[in-house]
Structure 1
Amino acid sequence: MVQHNSRPISEKERREFLRMLGVGGTVAVGSASIDDVREAVTGQQSNELASVGEAIRDDLAGSVNADLLTQVQRNLAVTASDLPAVVDRGLPTDVTEPREEFTPLAEAVQPAYDHLVDVGFFESTSENLPEFTPAYIEESVRRFVATDSVANLEELGFSKQEQVDLLATVASHRERIGDRHWVTTDKLKRGDVQFAEEVPPMTKAATGGALLWLEDLDHHLWQKALLLTDDILADATWDARAMAAGIQLVTEGARHIAEQSETFADDELAGVLSSGYALQAVAQNLLREDAYWLTEEKRADRTHEDIALPGGDSL
């Protein structure tokens, strides 16, 4: 049984993450915790992020329900913190129907998603957030790391070291996000859009897409259990946790807008929102590759006799 609950991150990826934050020479790569990183990072203000955060805050002032978002964050934290146990339980090969391990994440988030749709949150964030270039992602993550909002990751069950690995995954995919997965909606070429009359705002597509993956994952793992391995389950669980982290950060930003917090600066708001959406984008694409695109090299070398049915029989 695989006992890891995080995506394997190489020393090179950690080193690149620390270099991106400008602390490569002051934080030990192998044992780096988020506290070590935060202590070394300087929280310099960003004018670009400040203008983005100010515009979003002005758009949505007075329209967001802080109490609803606070409750959703609590529910999501409870549900997500249980996910590491999924790896210990192993693949659902001994049950007659899918387990409900990832669907509760989507159910916990749905009230916040519906509310943010109603108040125009996704339209505002899509209109005001710029294209996610590598440089913009670097600046956003750097600003996020310097904020107290990092504590949200620990509430979801991420250890201090896992938080570094989580953000290092975003850092190592920042070129890919900009090249393939995140351009502003108004820059999409209509000729490239197929099978849809309407292109949703990019931020709505990010969060809505994450919910769809989470809603499907339990059934997929159960239906394809014969083809999957414990490593695939562990990677899929990590990807789901990363999606939950991204959603939690977006709701954190929205909650601060609702509370009109003067201690949460505009550039901090933009950094938290942008980091949250980057996490969602990366995790969705990794989940597809990790658990849904099954090559001959990845799939399990298992026969029907290896699958136990309830009661002790085999297929």
Structure 2
Amino acid sequence: MVGSVNDPLSEDAKGRLTDAGDELADEIRTEVDGAALSDAAGDMAQALANVSSLTHEDLSPTLETEYETVAARANDLVSNLILADFFETADEVLPPFDPDFLEDCLAHAVGTAEMEPFETAGVGSELPEFVDEALSHTEAIEQNVRWEPEKPNKVSPMTTRGATEGVVDWLDDLGRHLWMSEVLLSEQMLEDAETHTRAMGSALLLLAQGVAGLDHDESNPEDDVARIVGGIALHTHHQRRLPEDLSWITDEMRAPGGWA
């Protein structure tokens, strides 16, 4: 049964989140600069809000600059996570990403998220929709998690740092890809591109909010880790979808009148 954003947190997930949150906070609390991370997230949110709507009328070289700006701000955010040794520690601490756990984290994350940065980015009303879609694909998300053979119960670096840096790479290239491929892109493909862009940005904001929460003694570790895992799951899902929707252009997908 597929979960929903309104589902309560299961007792099993609550225990795993609490244990992981306490351990993660103990390891990196002194390294996390919550204020700097929140500032970086705010800058990225504003850059995301400034990206033009993806319609054929708005496709131009300017779009490349807008996407590169979002990517640069996203890279600043990721750099803050690297400086805090977040990724290395998360690889050791986070529980396995099984589908039920992913559902619990995604639903709890969107239910407890502080909405200000999402509103700044213009994605506040869309965040539940992004998460609802991801909830329908938790088994596929799990299959995109690369496990370390010697640590079968741990999350691998490809899931945390590798996948998160992948968002930056996609954003850095996507604007150029879109305006240079205009003749090939249907309205549906542009709509998909806009959804993936905004969802990946939302995922980074969710992840940053979770890590920033570890800087505060009064924060709830369940909420923090749910946002961290939910953010990773959300951007993993949309990175998986991007090539299918935008890069592997079939004759059926091609815009009418596009190159043969």
Tell me if TM exceeds 0.5.
yes
Q: Among residues 73, 79, 99, which one is paired with 2:47 in the alignment?
A: 79
Please name the residue that 1:217 is paired with.
174
> Per-residue CA shift, 1:65-86, capped at 9, x if unaligned?
2232121111111112234x42
Identity %: 24
Aligned residues: 255
Q: Among residues 202, 224, 244, which one is paired with 2:159 in the alignment?
A: 202
Residues 91 and 221 in structure 1, CA contact (< 8 A), matched pair in contact too: no
Local SS of the residue matching 2:65: coil
Q: Say whether residues 1:54 and 2:18 are aligned partners.
A: no
Q: Among residues 179, 185, 191, which one is paired with 1:234 in the alignment?
A: 191
Q: Among residues 221, 230, 236, which one is paired with 1:275 in the alignment?
A: 230
Please name the residue that 1:245 is paired with.
202
1:296 partner letter: D
Q: CA deviation at 1:257?
A: 1.7
Change in CA separation of 1:42 and 1:131 when aligned onto 2, cut-off 3 Å: closer
Runs (5+) with no aligned partner, structure 2: none
Please name the residue that 1:300 is paired with.
255
Change in CA separation of 1:223 and 1:138 when aligned onto 2, cut-off 3 Å: same
Q: Among residues 245, 266, 290, which one is paired with 2:245 in the alignment?
A: 290
Q: Which one has a bigger Cα radius of gyration? A: 1
How far, CA to CA, are the matches of 2:247 and 2:115 in structure 1?
30
1:114 partner letter: S
Please name the residue that 1:63 is paired with.
31
> Per-residue CA shift, 1:221-266, capped at 9, x if unaligned?
12222211222112111101111111111111121122x241x211
Please name the residue that 2:94 is paired with.
129
Q: CA deviation at 1:150?
A: 4.7
Residues 52 and 128 in structure 1, CA contact (< 8 A), matched pair in contact too: yes
Q: Among residues 144, 152, 158, which one is paired with 1:181 in the alignment?
A: 144
Residues 56 and 182 in structure 2, CA contact (< 8 A), matched pair in contact too: no
Residues 87 and 157 in structure 2, CA contact (< 8 A), matched pair in contact too: no
User: How high is the TM-score relative to the length of structure 2?
Assistant: 0.87
Local SS of the residue matching 2:114: helix
> Per-residue CA shift, 1:174-218, capped at 9, x if unaligned?
01111x2014445689xxxxxxxxx84520011101100111101
Q: Among residues 59, 74, 98, which one is paired with 1:109 in the alignment?
A: 74
Q: Among residues 161, 164, 180, which one is paired with 2:128 in the alignment?
A: 164
2:134 partner letter: V
Residues 106 and 215 in structure 1, CA contact (< 8 A), matched pair in contact too: yes
User: How high is the TM-score relative to the length of structure 1?
Assistant: 0.73
Answer 1 or 2: which has greater helix percent.
2
